[in-house]
Amino acid sequence: MAPLLEIKNLTCRRDEGSGSSIFHDLSLEVEEGEVLIITGRSGCGKTTLLKCVAELDVYQTGDILLRGKKATEYGIPTYRTLVQYVPQRPSLLPGTPLDFLRTIRSFRSRQARARSTRPSASDSHASEGDYGAVRGSESIDPLELAAEWGIEKTMWKREWGTLSGGEGQRIALAVAVGVGGAEVVLLDEPTSALDAATMKTVEKSLVSMLPPLKTQHSGRGGGVERKGTGPKALLWITHEAAQAERVGTRTVDLTRQ
Ligand SMILES: Nc1ncnc2c1ncn2[C@@H]1O[C@H](COP(=O)(O)OP(=O)(O)OP(=O)(O)O)[C@@H](O)[C@H]1O
């Protein structure tokens, strides 16, 4: 069976392909249940790699396969819902988090309708007011998840730019893992703006959403019970060795690639 995610011989160059290489001939496989830590010195290409995997950045050679299929076979917008990138600074997004959630829900709803003529679960909540109108059928409600991380509901109605770095990070994370359907979530230093206690709470809930690992890896992977309610795997950029040790099942150091 094809791996969950396969990166094959990926090469990415600076300046839209005309400059020097950021990484060259990089190959990786990610299986279900993994928290693959991406680390390495500043500027070595960690963010670029995640953006390439999300098909947001252009690479010059190589293939990225999700369950054996290229993004073009899924269609790029659908692929990006299956492989979701969570930016380091969501404060640069326009509008409010609630607008963002509505847009994603509406896209998912259209996708679901295209696949089936059955009414979507979000329709059945359409009379529940501002927040209920964007609720979906997933087992994780982003607003409730964010509330567990200390985010009050009213914050969802504020412009992204008015939220603190840590508030914006938690909301963006809750949307990425809470709005169902993402198979692989790409986390770009997801807890860099959080205090130590909140960081550990977020880490635990993220790892608990994964399915159990099929193969034993050297890392501890959080040592938390896995419920399999969220994405199938995480690619997680961090500069913190202690965090990598807590959550990671495997580490790739891009400095050495
Ligand atoms: N649009 C761009 N044009 C030219 N160079 C770019 C562009 N985007 C990124 N780079 C360069 O590519 C390299 C990799 O950048 P990237 O942001 O992926 O590094 P990183 O490992 O995530 O860094 P950090 O740890 O500092 O966040 C850097 O040298 C960066 O300056």
Q: 113 pLDDT band (50/70/90 cuts)?
A: confident
- Protein residue whose Cα sits closest to atom 31 of ligand 1: 43
Q: What is the ipTM of this complex?
A: 0.95
More confident residue, 34 or 119: 34
Residue 23 token pair: 């990484």
User: Which residue among 13, 14, 23, 49 is best mutated to probe the pocket of ligand 1, counting the most ligand atoms within 8 A of its Cβ?
Assistant: 14
Segment 131-152 shows an average pLDDT of 74
User: How many Å lie between the centroid of ligand 1 and the Cα of residue 257?
Assistant: 15
Tens digits of residue pLDDT in 174-192: 999 988 789 999 999 999 9
User: How many Å lie between the centroid of ligand 1 and the Cα of residue 147?
Assistant: 33
More confident residue, 13 or 139: 13
Phi and psi at residue 226, to the nearest 5°: -100, 130
Residue 104, pLDDT > 60, answer: yes
**Percent of the chain residues past pLDDT 90, beyond the cut:** 64
Residue 128 token pair: 């529940």
Question: Taking the CA atoms of the chain, what radius of gyration do you get in angstroms?
Answer: 18
Closest ligand 1 atom number to CA of residue 237:
22
> Under a CB-based contact definition with an 8 Å cutoff, are residues 205 and 149 in contact?
yes
Q: What is the mean pLDDT of the chain?
A: 86
Tens digits of residue pLDDT in 215-251: 765 555 556 789 888 999 999 999 999 999 999 999 9
Q: Which residues line ligand 1 (CB under 6 A)?
A: 14-15, 22, 40, 42-48
Closest ligand 1 atom number to CA of residue 189:
27
Tens digits of residue pLDDT in 3-60: 999 999 999 988 877 788 899 999 999 999 999 999 999 999 999 999 999 999 989 9
Domain layout of the chain by residue ranges: 5-256
User: How many Å lie between the centroid of ligand 1 and the Cα of residue 22?
Assistant: 8
**Percent of the chain residues past pLDDT 70, beyond the cut:** 86
pLDDT in the model for residue 216: 62
pLDDT in the model for residue 127: 36
User: How many Å lie between the centroid of ligand 1 and the Cα of residue 44?
Assistant: 7
- Protein residue whose Cα sits closest to atom 18 of ligand 1: 45
Segment 144-155 shows an average pLDDT of 95
pLDDT in the model for residue 133: 36
Residue 170, pLDDT > 60, answer: yes
Pairing of strands 184-188, 233-237: parallel
Residue 107, pLDDT > 90, answer: no
User: How many Å lie between the centroid of ligand 1 and the Cα of residue 103?
Assistant: 29
User: How many Å lie between the centroid of ligand 1 and the Cα of residue 171?
Assistant: 25
Q: How far are the Cα atoms of 106, 121, 174, 179 from residue 100, in angstroms, in the given order?
A: 10, 19, 12, 11
Q: What is the CATH number of domain 5-256?
A: 3.40.50.300
